[in-house]
Structure formats: C-alpha cells, structure tokens
Structure 1
Amino acid sequence: MGKALFVTEKPSVAMDFVKLLNVKGTKRDGYIEGDKAVFTWCVGHMVTMCYPEAYDEKLKFWNLKDLPFLPKEYLYDVIPQVKKQFEIVKSLLNRNDIDTIYVCTDSGREGEYIYRLVDKQAGEPNKTKKRIWIDSQTEEEIKRGIKEAKPLSEYDSLAHSAYLRAKEDYLVGINFSRLLTLTYGRQISNFLNNDKVVIAVGRVMSCVLGMVVDREREIRGFQKKNFYKINGEFIKSEDESYEGEWKAIEGTRYYNSSLLYNDTGFNKEQDARNLISYIKPAEFAVVESVKKTKETKNAPLLFNLAELQNECTKRFKISPDETLGFIQKLYEKKLLTYPRTDARVLSTAVAKNIGSNISKLVKMNFNQNVTNYSNEILKNSWQKNILKSKYVDDSKITDHYAIIPTGEGQSSVNSLGKLERAIYDLVVTRFLAIFYPPAKYSKVAIVTNVMDERFMTSKKVCVEKGYLEILKNDVKDKDSEEDAAAFLSKLRKGEKLQIGEYRIKEGETTPPKRYTTGSIIIAMENAGKLIEDDELREHIKGQGIGTSATRAEIIKKLINIGYLGANSKSQILTPTEKGEMIYEAIKVSVPSLLNPTLTASWEKGLKLVYEKAIEPDNFMEKLEYYTKNNINRVMVENNLGYLNRRLFEVRKVYNVDIS
C-alpha cells in the first residue's frame, strides 16, 4: 500500500494538517514526509494562462488584424517566481510510492482552479484523487473532511466553471483592451498629455467603473430642491401636548395637487402659509383615530463576506481587501469558518449541532459579555429553535454556509491585534444574536383633524429588547419615548384638543450617496443595485457581479491603475479623469461591458455550468460569439468624432475641479 499525498493551498495549512493529524514527519525542501503520508503545498496560484505571444511570437505586438484572438486550445505555464515549489509538487504527484492524492486547497471555485492547473501541468498523474471540502480549519472539521473526502471527479463541474471564468476574463481582457487601446488610446493619451495610454478592459472591472462613474454623474447633475412641511401643536392640558405632521390624504384640500412636493410638503413656502391661514380660524382639533399595534423585529441574518466587508468599511473605515485579509487570518487561526462565502444562513446539518459552538464560546471565556450571552442561550435552550427559523436554509447555500465563530482557537484570541479582535467580536455578536428572541415594540399612531386637514403622529417604543441586548446595548431616549407613547395611548377618538402653533419646516432634497469601497461590494452582490434594507436585499438577491472571492481585488485593481480614487479616511470612491475617459471609450464602443445586468448574467452562466444545467461548450460558444460580434462592430463603426466631444466634456469637468 502506497502513501497518501496531501496538497494544500498554503504552507501554513499544510502545517496545520500535520499537527492536527499528529504526524511524526521529516521536514524536507517544500514538503513534510511521514510513514504513511506526505504533505506539500502550493503558494497560491502556481500556474497561469499564457500571453498571446506564447501562441505566436507576432502576437507580442498589438495589431487590429490579429483580433479576435480566440485560441482553439489554451496554453498554460508555471509562474516563474514559484517554479521551484511547483517542481517539488509535480515530482510528488508523480512519485511511484504515492497512490492517493488528497486535494486540500480552499473549498471554492478558486481553490479548485489552483489545484486543477497544477495537476494538468504535472501531466494529470493517474492516481486516486480525493477532494477534502471543509468549512473551517479546526481539528474536528479537518478530520471530518478527510473521512468524508469524495472523488475529485465529483467536483468536475466546479472545475469547468473555474476554467471558463478564467477564459472569460482572459478573452475579454486581451481582446477588448487591445481593440480599444489601438482604436482610441492615442486620442485619450493626447487629452491626458501622456505618452501612451493602455485602455484596460475587464469583464467585471469595467462594469464596476461604470457604476462609480454613473453615480458620480448623477451627483453632478443633481439639482437641489427645497420643500416645505407643516407641523401643528395640539394641547390636551398645560403639561400634555404633542406635534403632528400635515399630510395630504384622499379627500383633503390638496390631495394630488400639483403644488405638492410630496404628500407631506409643498414646493413653495407661500402655499404652506396659505394652508396655515386656511385652518388657523379653527377653534379646536379633533382626534380622528388612535391606532395601537405591536411589532416584532428579528436579528439580522448572519454575515457573508460582502456584508462583513461593507460593515467593516462603515465601522472601521477599512477597504474590503483589508477586511478579507483580516478574516482570512482569523480563519487560518481556526477562529472563524470559511470566509469566501455568499451565504448568510446555516445548513441544516450545521444547525443541528450548533449548540456545540455556543458551548465552546462559553469555555473560551475571552469576553464576559459573550460568556453571559452564550450562557443565557444555553440556559433557555434557544439554540433548539434555530432549525425552523429563517437562519437555516439549505437552498441558499452553494459552497459554504455563513461566517460564524468555531468556538476554537482560544490561544489565538488574546494575541489578536485591536482591529482583528474587533472584527472577530463583530462576527461573534452577530452569530449569538440570531438565537435571542425578537425585539418587541409598541406603536401608537394618531390622526388629528383640523377642518378636515390631517396631521399624523406616531411613536414607537421598544418594550422588550430581545436580540438588541447583544447588538444594541442602549435604546436611545427610552424613558422620554415611553412617556410620549403613554400619553398618546390615553387619547380617545373624538376628543377635542386646543391648537397651539403651526410651524413650517423647510427641507431640501439630497443627491445620491457616493459609493464607498464597502457599499460598492453590496451593489456588486446585487447586480448593480445598492439596497440598504437588510431583509429586502436578501429577498431579491440574484447572481451578482463577480464573486465573494474576487470583488475586493477588482476594486483594489481599479484604484491601483488610476481609474478610481478612494479616500483613505472615509473609503468613499470617486472616478479619476483618466477613469472617466476610459469609461467614455468603452461606452462608445462596447457599452454592454458597463451593464451590471449583462455582467451578472455571465456570472449566472458560470453558476449554471457548476450546477450542470448547461454544458461548458455552450457557454464558450456564446462567449466567443460575443467577442467576435463586438470586435467586428467596433472595427466597422467610426466613433472618433463623438468620443472626442465626450472627452472634451470630461476635461471641462476636471479643469473646473482642479481650479
């Protein structure tokens, strides 16, 4: 019987396997060998797609007549910087005494791609190959992963999806970057006073650039508009009064009037004054209705990578790339489950034993609040209710469930840096919150009638904190809110009240918000829609732009190549002059590359390949047709004059900004 070879994605993971499996091995150059097993590692990506000149030397020089470039067979080569380690892995894969290969790269599309490329470049050795698919780096999970390892062939559709994603990015990048650079590069370089401008185009990158430029132009074109609301004061006694906001409802004097900005305000101050003059003679106001309701609110769903990146940008003003770096380390320290996930729920299998995670958090005893919250959950057996809740849904999980604490890694917690610890605490408290009861609110809504004009008043009071005990330790102005609600609740329909002052409140419309490096991640996840509401976002969620593993890197690249700028303190994203000019070149030539819906549909196509709903060849045919069709169209059209006018408009904007 031969030896088993474990191939991990990083050296540190290989060391974890050796330690957790209690292997007494000898450390050699690039691997560790024991009596029954050998452990080696990739260094991230070790094999990459070849540049066009590897197919034909003449393709080193960019020329329109060589487009479209659509290889029949794709060529790959070893990345020079890691050639030594690749040769070590290759020799081990082909060693005669090794009969079983365990693939231990990260459990996702990118991890699959990393190994498949190495395997292919090593000659696809004829060995038994098994895939270890795990959700955390804990001893229990690694041992489970080895025990339940499936034949690598069961992940072939994931590999097909990974290869197609790379080919898609390659074809779009190579063909359209060359096409646009050769067609419009000199024109843009003249405007920017640069010797040479390369127009970098990417399947996802160009789409994200378009989202940021479009938002910036919305803001520039925004025209502020004032509006005027009316508040009335209504008095029951010397010590008891409340305010109501006027609203034009059906049957009232200004319902659907062209004078209104919306149903609670006027376009002109004078019209608001006219309404006050009309109702001022009224002797009293009448309570038309008193409506009391109860409301419950559940804890938010768990973190996936996008949600956590957005939250960290808001709280800590760090980029998504920095957030990913922190949680990757927390994962490698066994503190958190796999971070590159799109899911915000647990699987049924995990939920059945989730009490174990909570018990482990108690034993860790690294934070008194966490210990108290965990004990409260266990004491009340709240963890048993989770299986039938919205937090468990197998249909919303593809590769991995949401990011949660493992309850392990106690020795690592105290050595965490300040920010790393804050992010860990964020995940822990979000996790514990889902087991707590919902928050409960008491609401009272009053409609006050003055000469058949209606004023609306409402108060909402938290009567039971529930999960807010964990996520929000203070409910602001609770006492004063309770007093106000209690007073309003005593009012009775038909009750007459004295009228105090009427006040006009002036407001103004605000422009859309600029994207931050965090909010753009959420917009990418939702195919270009920035949806703030947590529940709504999850409800309408479809296949987004890019993947959880790639989005941060795309934003980072756009900043590095000078198409976008990010404020280091606020993390607000804005386009650069160069970025807007590149945007214009894409818009006049291949505008579909700026379309979030199209870009998301390509990502959906990759998902369908993974799910075996479509054949890889069908996807490839459509990709090649898109490439050929758009290249031919750009070559036939002549948009130089129109682009010139658009570039002048961009230049004017930035000249004004600079001065």
Structure 2
Amino acid sequence: MKSLYIAEKPSVAREFAKALHMNTKNKDGYMEGDEAVITWCVGHLVTMSYPEKYDTKLKRWSLETLPFLPESFKYEVIPQVSKQFNIVKELLNRKDVDTIYVCTDSGREGEYIYRLVEQMALMEKKERKRVWIDSQTEEEILRGIKNAKSLEEYDNLSSSAYLRAKEDYLMGINFSRLLTLKYANTLSAFLNEERVVISVGRVMTCVLGMVVRREREIRDFVETPFYKIAAAFGEEMKIEGEWKAVEGSPYFQSHMLYNEGGFKAREDAEAFVSSLLAEEPVKGIVAEVKKTQEKQKAPLLFNLAELQNECSKRYKISPDETLKITQELYEKKIVTYPRTDARVLSKAVAKEIHKNLNGLMSYEPAKVFLKDILEMKSYKSLDKTKYVNDKKITDHYAIIPTGQGLGALNSLSETGKKIFNLILYRFLSIFYPEAVYQKVALRIHIKGEAFFSNFKVLKDEGYFKVAGRPKSQENPETENSFFEFVKELKKGTELTVDGIQIKEGKTSPPKRYSSGSLILAMENAGKLIEDEDLRSQIQGSGIGTSATRGEILKKLFTIKYLKLNKKTQIVTPDLKGEMVYDVVNSSLPSMLNPELTASWEKGLTQVAEGQISEKIYMEKLNQYILRRTNGVKGLNNQGVIKESYQNIRNEY
C-alpha cells in the first residue's frame, strides 16, 4: 500500500519529493515512487456555485428573490483546472492508497483548498493526516510528516474556513445585488457609464469606508495657526528652549492659548515676548536639570502586516507585491512561512535557533553580526526574552531566515534581496543588547516663565549596530561635545539670553493612508496605531487576515474604488468609490464599521478554536443578512443619495 501526499502547488510537491528522498517518476499531474504518490492542487480546484445553479430563475437579478439564503450550499469544479482535479480525485480513490497526507498551506485557506477537493472527490474512508510546517526546508518537512496529526483534529479550522467562504459569498451576492438593483441606475447616470455594478464585500467595503472617511476628514480640515515662543540661551554653545505655560504662570490654562505652548493670536505672542524683554539684562536661570537613561530594545520580529508596512515605507512597493516576493523567498526555503500574524517565536524554535544562525554564516553581509552573537552567546537565553511567547502564536511564528537556500538569493530580483535583508537584520537585532541613551532635560526660567529643552545622546548603540542608527544620531561626535556641556549645567546657573523668537505653527490634517499603513490599520481593526509596542499589545483578529489583506486592496484598486500612487504608495478614494461609500452609508452603514467587521473575523477564530459552533455562527450570519436586506428594501432614500453624488462630483 502507498501513501498519497497532496501539496498546494507543484513546486511544494517537488520539495516534499526531495525531502522524502524517493526515487519518483514524473507522471501527468503527479509523481510516483515505490512507497508513495505525490500530487498537488493548483490553488483552488473547487469553488462555490452561483445562485443560478440552485434555480435558473436566480440568474436574473431581482429584489423579489433576495435575500438568497440556501439551506445547503452547492460546489463545483473550476473548469480551467478540471484536469488536475480529476487527477487528484483518481489518486484519492486508488485502491492501493491507504493514507493521505494533507500538505496544503498550513492555515485556514490551505485547509479549505484540500477539504473542498476531498468533498467533491467522494473519497471512501481512509486514514488522513495533516502536515503542518513553518518552512520548506528538508528538516521541517520531515518533522511535519513525522508529527502529522489526524486530519479530524483540524475539523474546527475547516469549519471556520467553510464559514468564511459562506460569509463572503452570502454578503457579496445579497448586498451587491441589493444595492445594484436599488441604486445603480442613478449612479451610472452620474458617472456616465452604461452599466454599474455596486460591489460589496465584508472586508472590502469596510476598507473603502476607512479611506473615504480619512479623505473627508482631510477635506473638511480647517488649518489653525498658532504662535510658539522659543528662546536661545548661552554664548558659545547655543541651547534652544521652548516656552510652556505651566502651573504658576499667569497664562496657565489661559483661553489665549491654542495649547500649553502656543498663542492663538500673534499680537498676544508679541505682547508676551515684549514683557520678557522689557528690562535689561535678560537672564535665563537653570531651574531644573534631570539626567536619566533610556533603554530601547530591538523591535519585535516581522509578521506579514509589519513587513508590508515597512516595505511600503522604505521601497514604495504594494502589500500585494511584498507578499508575492516573500512567498517566493519561502518557496526557495530562504525564510519561514510568510502569512503569519505572530511577531514572536515559539519556545521550541528558540531552542533550535542556533541552526538558523549557523546556516547564515555562509552569507557574507551577516558574518560580522553573527561573530558578535556567538561571542555574546545571547542565543542561549533567547527563550527568556520578549521575542519568545507561545501564547502569542496561533498558526505560525514570526517571519525569520531559515539559514538555508541562500544559494537561491542570486536568482532574486534586487527588491527580493532587499526584503530578505530586511527580514535578516530584524532577526539578528534581537540577539543584541538594548540601545542605551543618556538624556538631559532642562527647565530654564526667564522672569519665572518656563522654557524647556531636551537632549539625548546614544551611549551604547546596542542593536542599532545591526539595524542602523536613527537619523537623529548620525553625528555622534558633534552631539557628544554639546551633550557634555549641557550635562554639566547645574540648578541656579545663569545663562545669557540671545534672543526670543515667535515661531508660527499650523495645525495639521490627518495623514492619508499609505498602502502599508492601511494594512496595519486593518490588522488593528481600523485603528492606525503608530507606536510599535502598543500595536504588539493589541489583541484581536483585525479586518481580514494576513493572507488576504493585500489581495483586498488590489481588488479595490482594480475596480476603481480606490487609487494608488505607485511612487508614494499613498491611497485615496476614486470618484466611484466615494459614491459607493455614500450608497452603503445610507443603506448598510454597519458594513463600514471596522469593529463589527473585526468581530466577524473574531467569530471565525472562535469557531476554529472550538469556542462556538458552526451552527450558531451560521444562524447569526443568516439573521444579519435577512434583517439588513429587508431593511434596505423598505428605504426611500434616493433623493438624499443623489444630493450626496452631486456634492462628491464637485470635489473631482
């Protein structure tokens, strides 16, 4: 009897054949040896059937046939890949095959790809095992096969995968038809297009809402000027201090101030400066000197969202392109599985991390850092650091170099090499000590009014040796001599005042999303959290998954709901997207709610973890679609939407 291995792609199947050291012969759509057969899907082989397969009357779009909520779902083989499906089906049902090893991608979507094939193949009962791997190295493949669990242990994950597909299908079919039938004629007239279909999706529509709302905040923003006060102190070494109206100042919490350090009106700022300069000589008195140390650890490792954001900022490439390149690195065994939400490693991986480090010794750019790491022996205590936490890992740990496949780097594009180095240096950083800053904070008084200055200098570069110094610390010699002068200042020291200036500032509108920051906002349920440590503490499933977020953005660009500036990676709404936003906002506003969309995703996670049943989730989904569909049918809001169309068109 033989075992059958089913991979997701032909390239992965070849890696399994190599790892198993089988003398296989290439056949049409599979490979076969004495003990095993290896075949593959080509992505999805099976898909959900359109409504007309349930009833031919449903081919014609009509409000009377909505909502469409079938009791059981129909599936069909995708015609373009039917040949490969039939090959896999035949192999699954071969009499000499008694054990199936499921080797599709280790995640929800990979599980779904296989389960659909098995469902359509009508396979007789056989032993089925699930291979779960984090990289495509030979060692990891063999470990995955050896530790393969019964496929039944992944039934909850499978249920979650089926539900995700049903949810996207039902929301897409019902709400796209509903809004198109109700509002598309008016929209097509405004856009001067013959036929418009209003596309609605669980995640897609929510992301559209995030971008449109941000654009309207920017559009409605009213710039407010304010006037800050700055003083220059000292003769040889100039110290600049910024005034703040602290407790004890007559201006403390005054209505004349925009904030604690800026006047609303220039004349008030000028009057304040005049009062300070009224009597000669003007002296500054050091009222307080605070000396502290600040320690900064290397950031957590990359998950896909963080990597996509970093590549968008540094290299101006889209999230979709970043995933494509990182997937290539994974398939060449160079890095671990890319579609991960985790930013830490498991304890099991930490124990074996020396293997990754040893493998990287053949990569010239890494050698100098690896020499340090070996001397420090920091890899031995890695499991005691914040970079290792089993509780923060669901399917896969963070993206790191495997230490293998480095010969394939020569075949990569320049961008591919840059992305690998980004992953490499982030990984090597975690073995270095924290960077240490010395900080001095001064409070200097002029006639009792407080001016503040803050200085810091890098005392120990720590992990910056790998990651590169921040721009503010690139001239250490100049900084150090100035810092030594500041550090020696004492309370009561008199400083000459070399002028007091009024600096005009302006309030700033919110920033537009870049493709990368939009991915991060999706991961954090619609919140663009700039602070990296805070992001790492946020618990939740976000909007979409690491595997799908880039594809969703790409679809929004393709259907011209959003626009992407390829040079800057800045994302803005297109005219059609803004109009669709107003249609949804007037009819199905909950579809624009990031928290609600994230709660659906969290529900799927709870199904995968066995916390709620598939039946309960499906009942809630059907009720949601039923209520929303009937609610929109009863609306009479075309007039309001027409008015909003006119207002939007004036902006373009």
Task: Give the TM interval when normalised to the shorter protein.
Answer: over 0.9
- CA deviation digits over 1:11-67, x for unaligned, max 9? 011111111211111111001110000000000000000000000000000000101
Are the aligned partners of 1:207 and 1:595 in contact in 2 as well (CA < 8 Å)? yes
Aligned mates of 2:124, 2:40 — CA distance in 1: 17
Query: Would you say 1:103 and 2:99 are equivalent positions?
Result: no
- The residue that corresponds to 1:389 in the other structure is 385
Are the aligned partners of 1:119 and 1:125 in contact in 2 as well (CA < 8 Å)? no
- CA deviation digits over 1:542-572, x for unaligned, max 9? 2200000000000000110111111121111
- 1:336-375 correspondence runs (5 A): 336-362=335-361, 364=362, 366-368=363-365, 370-375=366-371
CA RMSD of aligned residues (A): 1.0
The residue identity in structure 2 corresponding to 1:462 is L
User: Which secondary structure does the structure 2 equivalent of 1:359 belong to?
Assistant: helix
- The residue that corresponds to 1:169 in the other structure is 168
- The residue that corresponds to 1:214 in the other structure is 213
How far has the Cα of 1:488 moved from its partner? 1.1
The residue identity in structure 1 corresponding to 2:633 is M
Query: Would you say 1:275 and 2:275 are equivalent positions?
Result: no
Query: Which among 409, 412, 434 is matched to residue 416 of structure 1?
Result: 412
Aligned mates of 2:124, 2:30 — CA distance in 1: 18
- The residue that corresponds to 1:460 in the other structure is 456
Are the aligned partners of 1:282 and 1:450 in contact in 2 as well (CA < 8 Å)? no
Aligned mates of 2:429, 2:237 — CA distance in 1: 38
- The residue that corresponds to 2:334 in the other structure is 335
The residue identity in structure 1 corresponding to 2:529 is I
Are the aligned partners of 2:237 and 2:482 in contact in 1 as well (CA < 8 Å)? no
How far has the Cα of 1:196 moved from its partner? 1.0
Return 5+ residue gaps in structure 1 as ranges.
Answer: 655-659
Query: Would you say 1:75 and 2:74 are equivalent positions?
Result: yes
User: Which secondary structure does the structure 1 equivalent of 2:173 belong to?
Assistant: helix
- The residue that corresponds to 2:300 in the other structure is 301
How far has the Cα of 1:282 moved from its partner? 5.9
Aligned mates of 2:643, 2:237 — CA distance in 1: 65
Are the aligned partners of 2:172 and 2:199 in contact in 1 as well (CA < 8 Å)? yes
Aligned mates of 2:124, 2:48 — CA distance in 1: 20
Return 5+ residue gaps in structure 2 as ranges.
Answer: none
- The residue that corresponds to 1:657 in the other structure is none
Query: Would you say 1:595 and 2:624 are equivalent positions?
Result: no
Moved more, 513-522 or 197-206: 513-522
Aligned mates of 1:570, 1:608 — CA distance in 2: 38
Aligned mates of 1:562, 1:367 — CA distance in 2: 45
- The residue that corresponds to 1:650 in the other structure is 648
How far has the Cα of 1:180 moved from its partner? 0.3
User: Which secondary structure does the structure 2 equivalent of 1:440 belong to?
Assistant: strand
User: Which secondary structure does the structure 2 equivalent of 1:518 belong to?
Assistant: helix
How far has the Cα of 1:495 moved from its partner? 1.7
Query: Which among 551, 554, 557 is matched to residue 555 of structure 2?
Result: 557
User: Which secondary structure does the structure 1 equivalent of 2:453 belong to?
Assistant: strand
Are the aligned partners of 2:31 and 2:38 in contact in 1 as well (CA < 8 Å)? yes
Q: Give TM-score scaled by structure 2 length.
A: 0.98
Are the aligned partners of 2:437 and 2:460 in contact in 1 as well (CA < 8 Å)? yes
Query: Would you say 1:631 and 2:632 are equivalent positions?
Result: no
User: Which secondary structure does the structure 2 equivalent of 1:345 belong to?
Assistant: coil
Query: Which among 379, 393, 401 is matched to residue 405 of structure 1?
Result: 401
Aligned mates of 1:400, 1:225 — CA distance in 2: 47
- CA deviation digits over 1:86-134, x for unaligned, max 9? 0000000000000000000000000000000000010143110000000
User: Which secondary structure does the structure 2 equivalent of 1:507 belong to?
Assistant: strand
The residue identity in structure 2 corresponding to 1:277 is S
- The residue that corresponds to 2:426 in the other structure is 430
Are the aligned partners of 2:218 and 2:509 in contact in 1 as well (CA < 8 Å)? yes
Aligned mates of 2:494, 2:52 — CA distance in 1: 87
Are the aligned partners of 1:459 and 1:481 in contact in 2 as well (CA < 8 Å)? no
How far has the Cα of 1:241 moved from its partner? 3.6
The residue identity in structure 1 corresponding to 2:552 is I
Aligned mates of 2:406, 2:304 — CA distance in 1: 23
The sequence identity of aligned pairs, in percent, is 56
- 1:222-233 correspondence runs (5 A): 222-233=221-232
How far has the Cα of 1:385 moved from its partner? 2.4
User: Which secondary structure does the structure 2 equivalent of 1:653 belong to?
Assistant: coil
Query: Which among 213, 223, 244 is matched to residue 247 of structure 1?
Result: 244
How far has the Cα of 1:456 moved from its partner? 0.2
How far has the Cα of 1:239 moved from its partner? 2.0
The residue identity in structure 1 corresponding to 2:474 is K
- 1:43-82 correspondence runs (5 A): 43-82=42-81
How far has the Cα of 1:454 moved from its partner? 0.1
User: Which secondary structure does the structure 2 equivalent of 1:251 belong to?
Assistant: coil
Aligned mates of 1:330, 1:8 — CA distance in 2: 18
What is the aligned length? Answer: 648
Aligned mates of 2:442, 2:570 — CA distance in 1: 41
Are the aligned partners of 2:244 and 2:452 in contact in 1 as well (CA < 8 Å)? yes
- The residue that corresponds to 1:546 in the other structure is 544
How far has the Cα of 1:516 moved from its partner? 1.3
How far has the Cα of 1:600 moved from its partner? 0.3
- 1:136-215 correspondence runs (5 A): 136-215=135-214
The residue identity in structure 1 corresponding to 2:397 is Y
How far has the Cα of 1:540 moved from its partner? 2.2
The residue identity in structure 1 corresponding to 2:437 is Y
Are the aligned partners of 1:282 and 1:451 in contact in 2 as well (CA < 8 Å)? no
- The residue that corresponds to 1:522 in the other structure is 520
How far has the Cα of 1:410 moved from its partner? 2.4
Q: Give TM-score scaled by structure 1 length.
A: 0.97
Aligned mates of 1:76, 1:282 — CA distance in 2: 88
Aligned mates of 1:372, 1:248 — CA distance in 2: 50
Aligned mates of 2:503, 2:480 — CA distance in 1: 25
User: Which secondary structure does the structure 2 equivalent of 1:492 belong to?
Assistant: coil
Aligned mates of 2:307, 2:158 — CA distance in 1: 27
How far has the Cα of 1:477 moved from its partner? 2.1
Are the aligned partners of 1:20 and 1:139 in contact in 2 as well (CA < 8 Å)? yes
User: Which secondary structure does the structure 1 equivalent of 2:201 belong to?
Assistant: coil
Q: Could you say if the C-alpha distance between residues 394 and 77 of structure 1 is closer, same or farther in structure 2, counting changes exceeding 3 Å?
A: same
- The residue that corresponds to 1:471 in the other structure is 467
The residue identity in structure 2 corresponding to 1:245 is E
How far has the Cα of 1:473 moved from its partner? 4.7
Moved more, 43-52 or 15-24: 15-24
Q: Could you say if the C-alpha distance between residues 527 and 494 of structure 1 is closer, same or farther in structure 2, counting changes exceeding 3 Å?
A: same
Are the aligned partners of 1:285 and 1:448 in contact in 2 as well (CA < 8 Å)? yes
Aligned mates of 1:287, 1:228 — CA distance in 2: 24
